[in-house]
Structure 1
Amino acid sequence: MTKDLLGRHRAVLPDWLALYYDEPLEITHGEGRHVWDADGNRYLDFFGGILTTMTAHALPEVTKAVSEQAGRIIHSSTLYLNRPMVELAERIAQLSGIPDARVFFTTSGTEANDTALLLATTYRRSNTILAMRNSYHGRSFSAVGITGNRGWSPTSLSPLQTLYVHGGVRTRGPYASLSDDEFIAACVEDLTDLLGHTRPPAALIAEPVQGVGGFTAPPDGLYAAFREVLHERGILWIADEVQTGWGRTGDHFWGWQAHGRSGPPDLLTFAKGIGNGMSIGGVVARAEIMNCLDANSISTFGGTQITMAAGLANLTYLLEHDLQGNARRVGGLLIERLRAVAAQVPAVREVRGRGLMIGIEVVRPGTDEADPQAASAVLEAAREGGLLIGKGGGHNTSALRIAPPLSLTVAEAEEGAAILERALRSIS
């Protein structure tokens, strides 16, 4: 049946729509941190639908909220008052840290970043955007145009002029050999020099931890240092929290807070985990920025009642069960366990990350040269062992991405680490 479905998939869907595994699997149902495929095989899920199943599969509180809302009304558009949308917006505005915050809901992280770019360029009257090298911000025309990861940028055509800044990757590039303080100083100097050669940009958009780029991150404080340079010139800071938000990094609720000495960003984008699988994205911005548009706008599906009900139930569960704290505790144990394994596997260059957002960079042993074939082999071996993980990377890297639901237990972390250890050793 799976082979038949694969043939039908290939007959009607685009060639560029990527599928994992030599023999792609169909996931039919899930519970907690586990999923099952169409053949009845059970897997420990360490990727959560690309960081989207944030709390747990089939979380009763969320499924109940969705079912009850579906029994009332599923959708009406933003042309009518929508109580669940207002309630979720109130909570997110308060949690964002942005003063006088306004929230606009979308259906995805791509659309959220697209909206943030519209707001920033309109507010600043500039179509120049600063973005980080190795970055990824979505698949719309404008988001692809600012993406700094060649593997995910199919065209150079763009309505925006994009200038790429150093700093998103700590252990590669021209500043890799510097200390953290020297690294930050060099990146700030590079940014300052760049701004001296161009018309004033609208904004810098940056992921606090680069997701598709392989879970890379700069030293804490880099974006605070950037913010001081930007603020002097009136340039906005957009924090892309699509993958880092809601406590996944453990140490902080938002990724920007690791760089927070200069205060919150001007705009914050979110998506993925807040809906626990339902399609929710959005932008938070100060009122003066959010309200700068002088034309009508609505969202047909952004903020629809059924997704807002899911988001409210999911956020409540996350906060009441301190899943941020669980990500810090269990994630810390998992990272240390994987680093101990990696020390014995020559093909692993680095284990990095924080909380339950962990990257394992795979190289040809004895070199810094990326080995995408080995990374794919680990992905396959992990699946054979009953574990689903992700891949990513840029800047000539190959990385395995590990991002389980934030309710992961210590026993499940140990089980997953043991499977990963066997998979990693298999490529040696």
Structure 2
Amino acid sequence: MIEIEQKYGIIGKSDAIKEVISSIEQVAPTDISILISGESGTGKELVAQAIHRLSHRKNRPYIVVNCGAIPSGTIESELFGHKKGSFTGATEDRKGFFEAANQGTIFLDEIGELPLETQVKLLRVLESGEIIRVGESIPQKVDVRILAATNKDLKEQVMEGDFRKDLYYRLKTISIHLPALRDRREDIPMLAEHFMIEYADRNNLQYKPITPSAMKILESLNWQGNIRELRNFIHSVFVLEKSHIIQAETVREYLRKHAGFIESGHFDTRFPVRMDKDVDKMERELILRQLFLLRQDVDEIKNMLRQNYQMLEKGQVSLDEIPQRLNRYDKEPIQAGEILTVEDKSIRDMEKGLIEQTLDKYHGSKRKTAQALQISERTLYRKLKEYDIQS
């Protein structure tokens, strides 16, 4: 297991990741097709690479195809090839990805983006090992192992008519699910250290250790972009931070200063979110990030109050001194009995309102609401019960 972790970059000690590695070891020596599921950034391609390199096809071609990046009008030609003159621009016979991967492995990422008509032809490959080039009628045999990945709920797509049921069950024979990083927080320290060492070695720089308190903050975050987001954040802090140790204050500073941190690792200090997203996504991201920052403030205030209360109990300060002590932490004095609000709304009110608005937008669909808010359906149901939201 340690060898697999080091060789393929699958890092973690959680039960969830151990189960993934165990599944890889079991299925890799076979030729059976595998469906790899999980959110964006959880490492689906790493799993596919590991399966290929542990298989008897390891010295044969390994072809990666992002189904979502190929226009629907050309994807069949890209996958299965075409005959000269079969369409405008087809000036010569061309092999597709399946022929290029013959005797090897093909990894179809974002399989849920395949057009329905292409899904029919993929099913033929799975069942008979045959492909037909665009513009030809005679099938030809290929020996290719198919690994597919998705960050979508294919079962839901089947119900909505966007994915073929027969192909779904054919792919789902063996499946490996990669958990979100927030569901295996105990792996975050190992991953963060790995990314810090990796970047230092690659760029011939001095390693910067992360203090335990800084690591606690990293563990507390939800990392909606999962491992990819954590890696890019670590690399960015490494590059921009001048000190030789990453302290808790450093992490807080970068979280606040770069509230616009995104998966690609790009920062734009003028905007808190990427401006190439649609308006709804930008608005939602702004609200969620502000909620996160507010929660951080509330946690800090709770700690201050707890410390002052302990000092009061021990007789180290008097009751009259408490307001003055608290005022040192804020530019604007805190008055006795004042409730911390944002535009007369508490964090709970803001969160409840956001959930209600999103539910209304998606006509009560829990699945779509959870996806839009980037939380699990389980968390959404808990919030609905907590806020007594009827839907």
Q: Give the structure with the larger strand fraction.
A: 1
| TM-score of the two chains, using structure 1 as the length reference | 0.28
Please say which structure displays the higher CA radius of gyration. Answer: 2
| TM-score of the two chains, using structure 2 as the length reference | 0.30
Q: Give the structure with the larger helix fraction.
A: 2
Q: Higher relative contact order at CA 8 Å, sep ≥6: structure 1 or structure 2? A: 1
